[in-house]
Amino acid sequence: MAGPVSSCEILRGSPSLTPEANTEILKALNRSGVHLEESVQGAPNWKQTQKVALLHTAVYFPEFVRAPKWRANAVAFLEGQLHDSTYPDGGYWEATDGYARAYASRYVGIALFMGEHGIEFSATTKAKLRELARFLMDQTFPNGQGPVYGDSEPQDLRSTLRRLGELLGDEELIHVGTSGASGQEPGHTSSLYPDTRVAVSRSGWTAEDSYLRLNADRGNHSHADELGITAYAFGRPLLPDMGTFNYSSDPRAQWLRKSTEAHNTIEIDNRAQDSTAAGAITHMVTNPVFDLIGARTEASQGALHERSVLSLSSGLWVVSDRLKPADGAAHRYEQNWHFASAASPSLGSGRKAATTAFGDGANISVVPADPGKVSASLRDGHYAPAMYRVESAEYASYVKTAAGRTTFDTLLLPSSGAAGPSVTVERIPVGSTPTHQATALGLGLGERGDAVYYKSWTTRAPRSFGSYTFDGKLLYARTGAAGQSIVMVDGTSIERDGAILVMSPEPVKDLAVRIGADGTVHIDGSGLTASVDPARAIAIAAPAAAEVVLNGTPVPFHRDGRLIYAAAAR
Looking at the domain assignment, is residue 276 inside a domain? yes
Q: Backbone dihedral region of 390: left (phi > 0), alpha (psi from -120 to 50 degrees) or beta?
A: beta
User: DSSP E strands: which ranges in 124-210?
Assistant: 191-193, 198-202
Looking at the domain assignment, is residue 4 inside a domain? no
Looking at the domain assignment, is residue 79 inside a domain? no
CA distance 149 to 130: 21
Q: Which of 71, 51, 58, 42 is nearest to 5 (CA)?
A: 58
Q: Do the bridges between strand 520-524 and strand 547-550 make them parallel or antiparallel, or are there none, so unpaired?
A: parallel
Q: Which residues contact 146 (CB under 8 A, 6 or more apart)?
A: 97, 98, 101, 139, 140, 152, 154, 155, 156, 157
CA distance 406 to 509: 28
DSSP-derived secondary structure for 206-270: STTS-EEEEE---STT--S-TTEEEEEETTEEEE-------SSS-HHHHHHHH-STTSSSEEETT
pLDDT at position 570, please? 79
Angle between helices 67-84 and 19-38 (to 10 degrees): 40
pLDDT at position 165, please? 98
pLDDT at position 302, please? 78
CA distance 464 to 431: 7
CA distance 234 to 416: 6
Residues 443 and 424 sit within 8 Å (Cβ to Cβ)? yes
CA distance 401 to 212: 28
Looking at the domain assignment, is residue 253 inside a domain? yes
Residues 213 and 147 sit within 8 Å (Cβ to Cβ)? yes
Looking at the domain assignment, is residue 95 inside a domain? no
User: DSSP E strands: which ranges in 313-462?
Assistant: 316-325, 330-338, 346-347, 354-355, 363-368, 375-386, 389-403, 406-415, 424-427, 438-444, 450-456
Looking at the domain assignment, is residue 210 inside a domain? yes
**For residue 216, what are the CA distances in angstroms to 93, 223, 229, 409?**
13, 11, 10, 19
pLDDT at position 2, please? 57
The domain containing residue 322 runs over which residues?
Answer: 197-420
Domain with residue 388: its CATH number is 2.70.98.70
Residues 551 and 527 sit within 8 Å (Cβ to Cβ)? no
Per-residue pLDDT of the chain (570 residues; tens, 9 = 90+): 556 677 777 777 788 888 888 888 889 999 999 999 988 888 888 899 999 999 999 999 999 999 999 999 999 999 999 999 999 999 999 999 999 999 999 999 999 999 999 999 999 999 999 999 999 999 999 999 999 999 999 999 999 999 999 999 999 999 999 999 999 999 999 999 999 999 999 999 999 999 999 999 998 999 999 999 999 999 999 999 999 999 999 999 999 999 999 999 999 999 999 988 999 999 999 999 999 999 999 999 879 999 999 999 999 999 999 999 999 999 999 999 999 999 999 999 889 999 999 999 999 999 999 999 999 999 999 999 999 999 999 999 999 999 999 999 999 999 999 997 789 999 999 999 999 999 999 999 998 999 999 999 998 899 999 999 999 999 999 998 778 999 999 999 999 999 999 999 999 999 999 999 999 999 999 999 999 999 999 999 999 999 999 999 999 999 999 999 999 997
Looking at the domain assignment, is residue 56 inside a domain? no
When divided into structural domains, the chain yields a total of 1
Half-sphere exposure of 429 (CA within 13 A, CB side): 2
Looking at the domain assignment, is residue 269 inside a domain? yes
